[in-house]
């Protein structure tokens, strides 16, 4: 009788300890999730990005994987540094425009043209920038010069597209500099990238400004 009672008490004690252990493990997981969530919220503010949970990965998409939030932040830091030379709205040319007398320009109809630049923006992704413009031939300087910008279009290509990156142009602005020798364009768009952080699938969205210049000797 005593043995049965002791056995019963041991079973009850075992089940009690097990239930507490499982509850403790759940609490630890919740704390871990909350810690990861809070860290990601800070990164979103710091690097001006938006992270959204993704339930199903689109076909053909290969997300970039990070084993920890710390590794993800290191990637964001490197990404920010690498893009500084190319993504910098504050880097505006200060050279004064030439004062050109209209009498120096051959009085012919403007010609239309288009140019495309291909810029390396990520490890294996490129941004294509297509500008359409009007220009005239300057007889005094014996060269073409830009007179107006009609449109600017952009898109990504490369090994990581569509497997990882998406790009959507939202707006653009254009300036004619140096007396018509330079056409400067700034493109604003939203870049999206599929990422996997600690086995949690997310999509990262960020507003990006690309700046580029086209020159008269390319016409």
Q: In the chain, what are the domain boundaries?
A: 2-47, 50-218
The sign of the dihedral angle between the CA atoms of 159, 163, 164, 165 is positive
Higher pLDDT, residue 206 or 123? 206
Q: In terms of residues, how long is the chain?
A: 219
Query: What is the DSSP code (8-state) at residue 8?
Result: H
Q: Quick one: pLDDT at residue 44?
A: 92
Is pTM beyond 0.75? Reply is: no
Q: What is the pLDDT of residues 58-94, one digit of tens each?
A: 887 888 899 999 999 998 888 776 655 444 333 333 3
Q: Is 22 exposed, middle or buried (0-12, 13-18, 19+ CB in 10 A)?
A: exposed
Q: Which range (88-97, 170-179, 180-189) has the least confidence?
A: 88-97
Supply the mean pLDDT for the chain: 76
In this prediction, residue 180 carries a pLDDT of 94
Percentage of the chain lying above the pLDDT 90 cut: 37
pLDDT of residue 104: 39
Please list the alpha-helical segments (H only) found in the chain: 2-47, 69-82
Average pLDDT for 47-61: 87
- Banded model confidence at residue 100, pLDDT cuts 50, 70, 90: very low
Residue 99 clears pLDDT 60, i.e. is over it: no
**pLDDT higher than threshold 70 for residue 177:** yes
What pLDDT does 92 receive?
A: 32
**Alpha-carbon gap, residue 147 to 110, rounded angstroms:** 8
9: confidence class by pLDDT, cuts 50, 70, 90: low
E-state strands within 54-110: 64-66
Beta bridge partners of 2: none
Least confident stretch, 21-25, 92-96, 151-155: 92-96
162 pLDDT band (50/70/90 cuts)?
Answer: low
Give the C-alpha separation, 64 to 9, whole Å.
52
Q: Give the containing element (helix H, strand E) for 194.
A: strand 182-197
Please report the pLDDT score of residue 8 as a whole number: 54
Q: Give dist(CA 35, CA 61) in Å, integer.
A: 28
Ramachandran angles phi, psi of 111, nearest 5°: -100, 155
């Amino acid at each position: 009788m005593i043995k049965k009672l002791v056995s019963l008490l041991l079973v009850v004690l075992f089940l009690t300890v097990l239930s507490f252990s499982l509850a403790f493990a759940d609490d630890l997981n919740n704390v871990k999730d909350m810690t990861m969530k809070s860290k990601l919220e800070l990164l979103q503010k710091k690097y001006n990005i938006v992270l959204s949970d993704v339930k199903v990965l689109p076909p053909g998409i290969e997300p970039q994987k990070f084993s920890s939030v710390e590794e993800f932040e290191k990637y964001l830091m490197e990404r920010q540094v690498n893009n500084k030379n190319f993504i910098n709205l504050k880097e505006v040319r200060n050279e004064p425009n030439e004062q050109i007398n209209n009498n120096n320009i051959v009085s012919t109809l403007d010609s239309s043209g288009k140019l495309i630049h291909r810029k390396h923006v990520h490890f294996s992704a490129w941004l294509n920038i297509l500008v359409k413009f009007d220009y005239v031939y300057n007889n005094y300087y014996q060269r073409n010069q830009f007179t107006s910008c009609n449109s600017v279009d952009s898109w990504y290509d490369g090994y990581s597209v569509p497997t990882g990156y998406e790009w959507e142009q939202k707006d653009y602005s254009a300036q004619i500099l140096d007396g018509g020798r330079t056409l400067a364009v700034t493109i604003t768009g939203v870049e999206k990238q599929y990422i996997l952080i600690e086995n949690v699938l997310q999509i990262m969205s960020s507003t990006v400004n690309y700046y580029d210049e086209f020159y008269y000797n390319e016409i």
